[in-house]
Amino acid sequence: MIVYLALRNLVRHKKRSLIIVLLFFVIITLFFIGNSTLMQMNQGMRKTFVENFTGDLVLKSTSPVDFGLFGANTPFVGEYFAIPVIQNYDSLLAELEGLDQVEATVSQVSGAALMDIHNKRYKVPLFGIEGDEYFRFFSNLKLLEGDLFTTGEEGILMTEYRANQIERETGLRPVPGDPILLTMFGNKGFKIREVPLKGIFSYTNSNSSMDQIMLVDVQTLRALNSITLASKKDSGAVDDLFSGSVDDLFGESDVESGESDGISAESVMDLLSQDVVAPEGDLVGGGWNFILIDLKERVNPRSVLEKLNSFFDENDINAEVISWRKAAGLSAMMVYLLQILYNGGFLLVLIAGIIAIVNLLVISVFERTGEIGTLRAIGASKGYIGGLFYLENIILSLIASLLALALSFLLIRVINRAGLTINNSLIVSLLGMSTVRVTFLPLMAFISMITSVLLGFLSTLFPVSLAMKIEPVTAVARG
């Protein structure tokens, strides 16, 4: 009877019911579409990052400084931060590759350098890799021009975006074979190295962070980073060119002019061509900063991460495994920022909507004082009255959520059929796709319905408290 009574009341007060349905509809539509998009963005971003440069998980050395593939995640660490190399690299790699959950691994050294090309200087993140192995691991990477560097061969690869940028800014398109000068300042002073441009590549669904990445042969980056392989004494490592001040290096000169009182391009080339003594670098096994891990399908990365880290803790091994998001550092924070912004805006709409619904329900309670009083007089408990109001509002919120989901479903179908193409690279990388394909997420639909019922319940709390205060004597007085 209470359901019947609730339904009859809703039909009788059509206008009010429609307004409440409309308000719930707006709230739930925003909630569903917004969160579905953000969830999809999160998945898209994960796909973009995991398949392009992070892998599912990343093994690195422990450090008091939070760092990822691009270096320290904290903007200011107070002093120069050198990414530590992985100790016991060989045994850790063997352990990882022996795991059933692991599909493949690839190792990497990271650094940041100043790149001089065509008399123009750029600050670039460098990933030191073994070319063939890295491109096998990240099969999404496309080599557009030139070749990969083979093991032991020096060379650097730049993104298509970077090549276009250089062409735009210098009027000269970089081509394979162009010399590139890399300058890096580390804890051993400055290191300079010239490498030939081996090729131009592109990422799938690239973003601004990825566009900056330069892939360099690992020996060059190790030399720039002052990492020396214990087993490869004097194998092409470069001595500190300058242990003096920064001014000594840059002085009035630069590579562009080649004429200065400080250092000239010729002197740098001379120095680079000399056999130099190995620096007092970290003498360690593999000389790698990271091992990127590709997990087999349907393996839960979180569970592997937790198991490995507890194993490292228990065995006092100086290594830790981090998620792709942490490995990508600040560049992966975009979706989180968008989520915060969106949810902030949604919260405002939610508050406004709830206030409007509560007001409508309060008016309804006052209008129905006689009815409430009569029901109380003929034996309805306060719980029955409360239940009636809760039920009415929950029915409305459920109707609204079903309508919202139906509309969203139709919208998604229309969008997918339209096959919209995205031109903005940020949105492409966030969504992990260049043609919009939105998925109706059943889990999010379920969450939306639960949220709707919860909102229906919450918005009725105050009006019900008022309704329950109405005494039966009021019915006698009001009729």
Partner 1 sequence: MEIIKLTDIKKSYPMGNVIVNALNGVNLSLDKGDFVAVAGPSGAGKTTIMNMIGLVDQPTSGEVFIEDKPVSHLSDKERTVLRHHYLGFIFQSFNLLPILNVYENIEIPLLIGKKYPAKKERIEWIDFLLDEVGLSPWKKHKPSELSGGQRQRVAIARALVTKPEIVIADEPTANLDSKTGEKILNLMKTINKEQKTTFIFSTHDETIKNMADHVIYLHDGFVVSEEKS
For residue 297, the SS3 value is coil
Nearer Cβ to partner 1, position 28 or 375? 375
Shortest distance in whole angstroms from residue 27 CB to partner 1: 27
Residue position matching structure tokens 């609204």: 400
Q: Does 379 bind partner 1 (CB under 8 A)?
A: yes
Q: How far is the CB of 392 from partner 1 (least distance, A)?
A: 12
369 binds partner 1 (CB under 8 A): no
Three-class secondary structure of residue 254 per DSSP: coil
What is the closest distance, in whole angstroms, from the C-beta atom of residue 422 to partner 1 in the complex? 52
- In the list 284, 325, 376, 456, the residue contacting partner 1 (rule: CB under 8 A) is 376
CB-CB contact of 293 with 57 (8 Å)? yes
Q: Is residue 386 a contact point for partner 1 (CB under 8 A)?
A: no
One character per residue 321-340, x = contact with partner 1 (rule: CB under 8 A): --------------------
CB of 412 to partner 1, least distance (A): 38
Instruction: Report the residue number, 1 or 443, with the smaller CB distance to partner 1.
Output: 1
Encoded one letter per residue, x for contact with partner 1 by CB under 8 A and - for no contact, window 129-168 reads ----------------------------------------
Q: How far is the CB of 9 from partner 1 (least distance, A)?
A: 6
Shortest Cβ 6–partner 1 spacing (Å): 10
Is 379 or 442 the residue whose CB approaches partner 1 more closely? 379
CA atoms within 13 A on the CB side of 319: 27
**For every residue of 255-288, which 3-state class applies, written as one string?**
CCCCCCCCCCHHHHHHHHHCCCCCCCCEEECCCC
Considering the complex, what minimum distance in angstroms separates the CB of residue 469 from partner 1?
11
Binder among 299, 377, 407, 447 for partner 1 (CB under 8 A): 377
* Helical packing angle, 382-418 and 2-12, nearest 10°: 60
**Bridge partners, residue 282, by sequence:** 227
Q: What 8-state DSSP symbol labels residue 7?
A: H
Judged by CB, which is closer to partner 1: 211, or 371?
A: 371
In the complex with partner 1, which residue's Cβ is closer, 388 or 412? 388
Establish if 3 lies at the interface with partner 1 (CB under 8 A).
no
| Complete DSSP assignment for 409-473 | HHHHHHHHHHTPBP--HHHHHHHT-SB------HHHHHHHHHHHHHHHHHHHHHHHHHHTT--HH
Which one among 182, 210, 361, 375 touches partner 1, defined by CB under 8 A? Answer: 375
What is the β-pairing status of strands 156-159 and 189-202?
parallel
Using CB under 8 A as the binding criterion, the count of chain residues that bind partner 1 stands at 25
Structure tokens at 188: 């051993």
Contact 268, 69 (CB under 8 A): no
**Least distance from partner 1 to the Cβ atom of residue 375, Å:** 7
By CB under 8 A, what part of segment 11-70 binds partner 1?
11-12
Exposed e or buried b per residue across 155-179, where buried means at least 16 C-beta atoms within 10 angstroms of its C-beta:
bbbbbbbbbebbeeeeeeebeeebe
Whichever of 98 and 479 has its CB closer to partner 1, that residue is 479
378 binds partner 1 (CB under 8 A): yes
Positions in 449-478 near partner 1 (CB under 8 A): 471-473, 475-476
Q: Of residues 176, 251, 370, 386, which one binds partner 1 by CB under 8 A?
A: 370
CB neighbourhood size of 206 (10 A): 20
* DSSP E strand boundaries for 209-250: 214-217, 227-229
Q: Check if the beta carbon of residue 83 is closer than 8 Å to that of residue 111.
A: yes
Q: Binding residue for partner 1 (CB under 8 A) from 250, 342, 346, 384?
A: 384
Nearer to partner 1, 85 or 385 (CB): 385
Query: Which of 192, 293, 380, 412 is close enough to bind partner 1 by CB under 8 A?
Result: 380
| Residue 228 bridge partners (DSSP) | 283
Q: Which is nearer to partner 1, 7 or 414 (CB)?
A: 7
Alpha helices by DSSP H, 289-433: 301-314, 324-328, 334-367, 369-377, 382-418, 425-431
Binding positions for partner 1, rule: CB under 8 A: 1, 5, 8-9, 11-12, 370-371, 373-382, 384, 471-473, 475-476, 479
